[in-house]
Amino acid sequence: MSPASHQAIKLALSAPRMGTYEAATNVTPALTGAIALYTWNAQLSAALMYPLHVCEVAVRNAVSEAITQVYGPDWPWSAGFLSSLTNPPAPTYSPKRDLLHTGAAQPTTGKVIAELKFKFWETMFTGRFDARLWNPHMRNVLPFIEPALTVQQARMRIRVDLESLRGLRNRIAHHEPIFARSLANDLQKAHELIGFRCVHTAAWMHANESASVLIAAKPP
């Protein structure tokens, strides 16, 4: 591409946005390197949505199974389950508000599961749910968790990793740079979380993802 084309791309995407990439590249001229880095960032963002997709679906189904064991298949409308959820004032995220809003709009548990925010599933991995959910049911719904981990250790690790992956997904969704992250570690976290649920699903995801190839091909 010509320098004029590069300048046109910078104008279209905005100088401040491209400036972030120009500052991060080691190529001269910087705009040439920035456009290569931008292209890589966008392509990798798209590629990472597949492992993030599989991870979220696997985890939320595991959580739903645990909740079902305690509150029944209609758990989104269970008064007992609703009373167990925190409800901090806005603008802080409230799992109770999220579930009430989603449950009022969706007719089935499956639809509710699909519409709840990623943050909802992350908040389920807190100590307040150990007694009813995780102590009795974690190893049933996440059977491939490392045996050496206690339930509490596994639950805390899952929450930390989900929070990290949610941050990655949010940056991707808002078309933000992800090149400064340890993306190989992010991909590994997704693989491990899927593997806690099902090693076959983790292997399938790993065999079909393209993110690892792109991660290894990061431009200078």
Residues 9-40 have pLDDT tens digits of 999 999 999 999 999 999 999 999 999 999 99
Gap between the Cα atoms of 110 and 114, Å rounded: 6
Residues 41-92 have pLDDT tens digits of 999 999 999 999 999 999 999 999 999 999 999 999 999 999 999 999 999 9
The answer, yes or no, to whether residue 1 has pLDDT greater than 90, is no
Residues 173-208 have pLDDT tens digits of 999 999 999 999 999 999 999 999 999 999 999 999
Buried b / exposed e across 94-121, counting CB within 10 Å, b at 16+?
Answer: bbbbbbbebbeebeebeebbeebebebb
Q: Interhelix angle for 30-71 vs 151-173, to 10°?
A: 140
Gap between the Cα atoms of 3 and 30, Å rounded: 11
- Residue 124, classified by CB atoms within 10 Å of its CB into exposed (0-12), middle (13-18) or buried (19+), is buried
Does the pTM surpass 0.85? The reply is: yes
Instruction: Tell me phi and psi for residue 148, to 5 degrees.
Output: -70, -20
Neighbours of 217 (CB within 10 A): 10
For a pLDDT cut of 70, what percent of the chain falls above it? 100
* CA 46 to the chain's CA centroid: 13
Average pLDDT, the chain: 97
Buried b / exposed e across 192-208, counting CB within 10 Å, b at 16+?
Answer: bbbbbbbeebbeebbee
Gap between the Cα atoms of 54 and 51, Å rounded: 5
Gap between the Cα atoms of 66 and 7, Å rounded: 54
